[in-house]
Amino acid sequence: MKIIGPIAGIGSRLRPFTLSKPKAFITVAGKMVLDHILMKFLNTFDNSAELILIVGYKKRQIIDYVQKHYSEKFKLRFLEQIPRGYRDDVPFYWGLGEAVYLAHDKFDEIPIKSPEDDKREGCLIFLGDMILIDEYSYIMYRYYESDVDGIITVMKVPEEDAGSYGIVEVDDNNIIKKLVEKPKEYVSNLAIAGIYAFSNTATKDLFKNLKKYLDKKTDKSKEIYLTESLQDMVNNGFKIAAVELKKGILDFGKPSSLLYGNKFLLEQESSTSKHYDNNNIKIEKSSIKNPIYIGKNTKIINSVIGPNVSIGKNSVITNSILENCVIEKNAKFDNIITENSIIGSNVIISNISKKNLIIGDKSIF
């Protein structure tokens, strides 16, 4: 099984935080989004699994970090998605479809002797700004034990929101009949949830379909999405099942969903007094309201922190009240009252009382 992770995009909806780092490097509940994702894989896959990361924006940061922390946990490969062009020196790309297609030549021609072989030699595709809440063992069980060529995870969304997603229509056995990217007319309330698993044969058909659209692209073409090529797979006779997630998925693609995801993850595991003792965390004359995460070597003095606050390492918070916030490493706060805020690394701010702050890395206020 090969795991394909497209993480080349710039994360424009998370500006200004992605000016200095990839979107998968945003830190929530004590870990980068990418760490949350890859550690989930470690619960299901062993170190024989091949992890193919499609990199582009801030590629050197990603490659160096993943090689340092995961080289013994996966067989690593990195493929670069070349920018389609630049706007104000910021790259933009041909989209998810091209990113996935870049992995096509990593699927060698091998003899497939049985349906089981076909599935074992297939692929799993994930997105770099989504964290699965379910375990991958649940997804892979549905993949291996069902008489299908592949699965696509889905989640139910309100009918009025369906036009904002890739949507699938299924038959009575949850086999996909139709896929539409952001339909203008209502198709169903089953939205694609960003995790895909396909057999080797189905994967190669997906690559063939993607190549067809990539070969037709011009300078005026829109991004190449997966949806059309997935529909081609269905039209070509591949049996793809929609698997509804039991617990769902956390989307970290925009600020509001990032705050929600931080809250959810903190509720699963909040910092404890033992964590404070083991990580040189000093709390003086302060009230701490769980759930919360506090990074190592952090000092909190004369403050009220929480609930739902994540604070990165080496931070100093004094005379402040913080609620429902994501604060990255090396923060220096004095006399701050805020909630529903996201604040980047190496930020120094003082004497502010304001909700919904969005402050990028290395800022001083």
Q: Look at residue 136 and tell me if it is in a domain.
A: yes
Instruction: Name the token pair of 361.
Output: 């890395």
pLDDT tops 80 at residue 109: no
pLDDT (0 to 100) of residue 317? 98
Q: Report the DSSP pairing between strands 50-55 and 75-80.
A: parallel
Q: Look at residue 263 and tell me if it is in a domain.
A: no
Same domain, residue pair 147 and 200: yes
- Is 293 in a helix, a strand, or coil? strand
pLDDT tops 90 at residue 271: no
Q: Which pLDDT band holds residue 165 (cuts at 50, 70, 90)?
A: confident
Instruction: Name the token pair of 292.
Output: 């919360």
Same domain, residue pair 289 and 349: yes
Q: Look at residue 365 and tell me if it is in a domain.
A: no
| 236 phi and psi angles, rounded to 5 deg | -80, 5
pLDDT tops 80 at residue 75: yes
Q: Report the DSSP pairing between strands 316-318 and 304-305.
A: unpaired
Alpha helices in the chain (DSSP H): 33-42, 59-70, 96-101, 115-120, 136-145, 200-216, 227-235, 255-268, 273-278
- Cα separation, 208 vs 104, in Å, equals 9
Tell me the sheet residues that pair with 175.
241
Same domain, residue pair 340 and 243: no
Same domain, residue pair 217 and 355: no
pLDDT (0 to 100) of residue 239? 97
Instruction: Name the token pair of 41.
Output: 């894989």
Same domain, residue pair 186 and 297: no
Stretch among 37-46, 103-112, 340-349 having the lowest mean pLDDT: 103-112
Q: Look at residue 147 and tell me if it is in a domain.
A: yes
- Cα separation, 127 vs 5, in Å, equals 6
pLDDT (0 to 100) of residue 338? 97
Same domain, residue pair 26 and 101: yes
Same domain, residue pair 278 and 193: no
Same domain, residue pair 241 and 322: no
Average pLDDT of the chain is 92
CA 225-236-199 angle, to 5 degrees, is 75
Q: Look at residue 308 and tell me if it is in a domain.
A: yes
Stretch 113-130: mean pLDDT: 92
pLDDT (0 to 100) of residue 129? 87
Calculate the alpha carbon distances from 5 to 51, 70, 167, 194, 217 in Å: 8, 14, 21, 11, 23
Same domain, residue pair 167 and 239: yes
Quick: pLDDT tens for 16-61.
888 889 989 999 999 999 999 999 999 899 888 899 999 999 999 9
Q: Return all residues near 213 (Cβ < 8 A) that are at least 6 apart.
A: 97, 224, 228, 229
Alpha helices in 20-93 (DSSP H): 33-42, 59-70
Does residue 218 contact residue 224 with C-beta atoms inside 8 Å? no
Residue 278: give the domain boundaries. 270-359
Which of the listed residues 207, 223, 258 is the one where a domain comes to its end? 258
Stretch 158-178: mean pLDDT: 92
- Cα separation, 210 vs 99, in Å, equals 10
Task: Give the CATH number of the domain where residue 110 resides.
Answer: 3.90.550.10
pTM, whole model, 2 decimals? 0.91
Instruction: Name the token pair of 107.
Output: 């699927």
Same domain, residue pair 243 and 281: no
- Cα separation, 322 vs 262, in Å, equals 14
Task: Give the CATH number of the domain where residue 285 resides.
Answer: 2.160.10
Closest CA to 320 of 340, 304, 341: 304
Same domain, residue pair 58 and 126: yes
Domain count, the chain: 2
